[in-house]
Amino acid sequence: MDTLAFLHHLEAQPDYAGQMAHVEHLPPRRAAYAELDRSLVPELQDLLQEQGLLPLYTHQVAAVNLTCRGENVMVATSSASGKTLCYNIPVLEALLIEPGSRALYLFPTKALAQDQLRSLHQLVGSGLLGMEELATFDGDTPRAERSEIRKKVRIVLTNPDMLHLGIMPNHQSWSRLLRHLRYVVIDEAHIYRGVFGSHVAGVMRRLRRLCHLYGSDPRFICCSATIANPGEHAVRLAGLPFVVVDSDGSPHGGKDFVFWNPPIIDEAKSARRSANSEATDLFTELVNRNVRTLTFARTRRLTELIYIYSQQRLAETGLTCAERIKPYRAGYLPQERRQIEQELFNGQLLGVVATNALELGIDIGDLEATVISGYPGSIASTWQQVGRGGRSQESSLSFLVALNGPLDQYLMRHPQSFFQKSFENALVNLGNPYILKAHLLCAAWECPLDSDDEKIFGLSLASEIKTLEDQGILKERNRKWYLSPAISCPAQAVNLRATTGQNYALIDTSTGVLLETVEASVAFFQVHPGAIYLHQGDSYLVIELDRANHTACAVPTKVTYYTQTKEREDLRIVKLIRAKKMGPVKVCLGEVEVTNHVVGFKKLAQFTEEVVGEEPLDLPPQCFPTVALWFDFPPGAVARLEESGMDFAGGLHAVEHTAIGILPLFALCDRNDIGGVSTLLHPDTGRAQVFIYDAYPGGIGIAEKGFDMIGELWQATLETIKECLCQDGCPSCIQSPKCGNNNQPLDKVASRILLEGLLGKL
Q: Does 509 score more than 70 pLDDT?
A: yes
User: What pTM, to 2 d.p., does this model score?
Assistant: 0.85
Write out the H or E segment, with its range, that includes residue 516.
strand 513-519
pLDDT for 644 equals 93
Instruction: Place 250 in a pLDDT band, splitting at 50, 70 and 90.
Output: very high
- Residue 234: name the closest of 426, 391, 495, 4 by CA: 426
What would the pLDDT profile of 605-645 be if each residue is shown by its tens digit? 876 778 899 999 999 999 999 999 999 999 999 999 999 99
Write out the H or E segment, with its range, that includes residue 751.
helix 748-758
What would the pLDDT profile of 585-606 be if each residue is shown by its tens digit? 999 999 999 999 999 999 988 7
* d(C-alpha 170, C-alpha 448), whole Å: 14
40, amino acid identity:
L
pLDDT for 361 equals 60
What would the pLDDT profile of 364-389 be if each residue is shown by its tens digit? 667 899 999 999 888 888 988 898 88
pLDDT for 127 equals 75
Q: How far is the CA of 564 from the CAs of 100, 237, 532, 615, in angstroms?
A: 54, 33, 9, 11
* d(C-alpha 625, C-alpha 588), whole Å: 16
Q: What is the 3-state secondary structure (H, E, C) of 579-611?
A: EEEECCEEEEEEEEEEEEEEEEEEEEECCCCCE
What would the pLDDT profile of 56-69 be if each residue is shown by its tens digit? 999 999 999 999 99
Compute the average pLDDT of residues 276-302: 92
pLDDT for 391 equals 60
Q: At what angle do helices 635-644 and 648-662 cross, to 10 degrees?
A: 130
More confident residue, 71 or 522: 71
What would the pLDDT profile of 434-480 be if each residue is shown by its tens digit? 899 999 999 999 999 999 999 999 999 999 999 999 999 999 999 99
- Residue 721: name the closest of 633, 667, 653 by CA: 653
Q: How far is the CA of 524 from the CAs of 24, 301, 545, 602, in angstroms?
A: 42, 20, 9, 14
What would the pLDDT profile of 695-719 be if each residue is shown by its tens digit? 988 999 999 999 999 999 999 999 9
What would the pLDDT profile of 133-183 be if each residue is shown by its tens digit? 999 999 889 999 999 999 999 999 999 999 999 999 999 999 999 999 999
Q: Does 319 score more than 90 pLDDT?
A: no
What would the pLDDT profile of 515-559 be if each residue is shown by its tens digit? 888 878 789 999 999 999 877 557 899 999 999 999 999 999 999
Strand 689-694 versus strand 674-679 pairing type: antiparallel
- Classify 730 in phi/psi space as left (phi over 0), alpha (psi -120 to 50) or beta: beta
φ/ψ of residue 252, rounded to 5: -145, 145
| Beta strands across the sheet bearing 102-106 | 134-136, 155-158, 102-106, 181-186, 219-224, 73-76, 243-245
Cis ω before 745 (30° cut-off from 0): yes
pLDDT for 275 equals 93
* d(C-alpha 713, C-alpha 706), whole Å: 7
Cis ω before 55 (30° cut-off from 0): yes
* d(C-alpha 468, C-alpha 483), whole Å: 10
Q: Does 28 score more than 80 pLDDT?
A: yes
pLDDT for 115 equals 84
pLDDT for 674 equals 92
Q: What is the mean pLDDT of the chain?
A: 92
Compute the average pLDDT of residues 497-521: 84
What would the pLDDT profile of 388-439 be if each residue is shown by its tens digit? 887 667 899 999 999 988 999 999 999 998 998 767 788 899 989 889 999 9
pLDDT for 157 equals 98
* d(C-alpha 61, C-alpha 72), whole Å: 15
Instruction: Place 341 in a pLDDT band, splitting at 50, 70 and 90.
Output: confident
